[in-house]
Amino acid sequence: MPDYQQHLQLAADFLRNADHVVAFTGAGISAESGIPTFRDDDGFWQRYPPEHFATWDGLFATLTRDPDGLIDFLLAVLEPIVEAAPNPAHVALAQLERHVNVTIITQNVDALHQEAGSTVVKEIHGTLFETVTLTGSFEHLVTRQEVRKVIEELKEIRGQSFVRTRLPLVIRPLLGIGRRGPYRPNLVLFGDGLNDTTWEAALAAVRDASVMLTVGTSGEVMPAATLPREARAAGARLVTIDPEVDSGEGDICLQGRAGDVLPQLVNTAFP
């Protein structure tokens, strides 16, 4: 693959000469950690129609109409995330910090970048491991242990006659009423606005970046998908890493799995 090798060298030069690298990541970077993406063949939105599962109204309507279906969806989302570990792509981005200033802007809610050791992570679609009030203020942290307990109890009540009444109690670590009123997971669903502070910080990083690595995202969701264009307008070099993308708005496309390409790229730049 002569083109691939040439592009790898060029992208490595970009990294070596960069003051600030922004990695903009989507579900594809966590695919090799066992978490399905959204729009690939086995993706969440292929199996669970977004109109029933990707909005708060849809989820509450599904709770009433089909609580066991809601449990299936919750298990499909929660189990892979809570059991996932960072893969070589997350680790390579964390290691890149030894050589250059790095900001991660992720659409993922799995906290795998932080677990791999990345220190500056902007989670523009929120995180599963935090709850917020209905106005978006921080409520409490959610531990993996608590999510595992929710998963266990969801399995116990699935298919039981009392499922509809027990479900709200089982998911109380994630959604319920606390001392400051109702709280919910800190997740951005369809139709929700982004957290302003996080989004402004992401934009500031993008405008300051010398290189943007766009990894494993279909670029279908706004406003996240505008970030590569913002970076280009501010003068950054763009590198796209995705097995399904061989050209795009980037200067360079490295077609392949993030877990293969990112370690190669970082090792080539900083042997």
- Catalytic residue numbers, as ranges: 125
Angle, nearest 10°, between helix axes 144-157 and 67-83?
A: 150
Residue by residue, DSSP assigns 31-51 as: HTTT---SSSTT-HHHHS-HH
Task: Name residues contacting ligand OAD, limited to 28-57 (CB under 6 A).
Answer: 28-29, 31-32, 37-40, 43
Distance of CA 253 to the CA centre of its chain: 21
Tell me how far, at minimum, the Cβ of 259 lies from ligand OAD, in Å. 6
Please, which of residues 126-185 interact with ligand OAD by CB under 6 A? none
Q: Please identify, using beta-carbon distances, which residue of 1 and 235 lies nearer to ligand OAD.
A: 1
Taking the least distance from each CB to ligand OAD, the nearer of 67 and 228 is 228
**Contact track, ligand OAD, 182-221, x by CB under 6 A:** ------xx--------------------------xxx-xx
Q: Does 242 bind ligand OAD (CB under 6 A)?
A: yes
CA–CA dist 251, 33 (Å, integer): 28
| 150 and 172 Cβ atoms separated by less than 8 Å | no
* Interacting residue with ligand OAD among 90, 113, 237, 257 (CB under 6 A): 257
Give just the sign of the alpha carbon dihedral 116, 118, 123, 127: positive
Hey, which residues between 90 and 119 contact ligand OAD (CB under 6 A)? 107
Question: C-beta of 228: minimal distance to ligand OAD in Å?
Answer: 12
Minimum distance from CB of 166 to ligand OAD (Å)?
26
199 within 8 A of 124, measured Cβ to Cβ: yes
User: Given the complex with ligand OAD, which of 157 and 238 has the nearer CB atom?
Assistant: 238
CA distance 95 to 92: 5
Q: How far is the CB of 114 from ligand OAD (least distance, A)?
A: 17
Whose CB is nearest to ligand OAD?
A: 28
* Peptide bond before residue 223 is cis, with ω within 30 degrees of 0: yes
CA 44 to each of CA 36, 58, 160, 217, 230: distance values in angstroms, whole numbers, following the listed order = 7, 15, 25, 14, 28
Question: Which residues form the interface with ligand OAD (CB under 6 A)?
Answer: 26-29, 31-32, 37-40, 43, 107, 125, 188-189, 216-218, 220-221, 242-244, 257-258
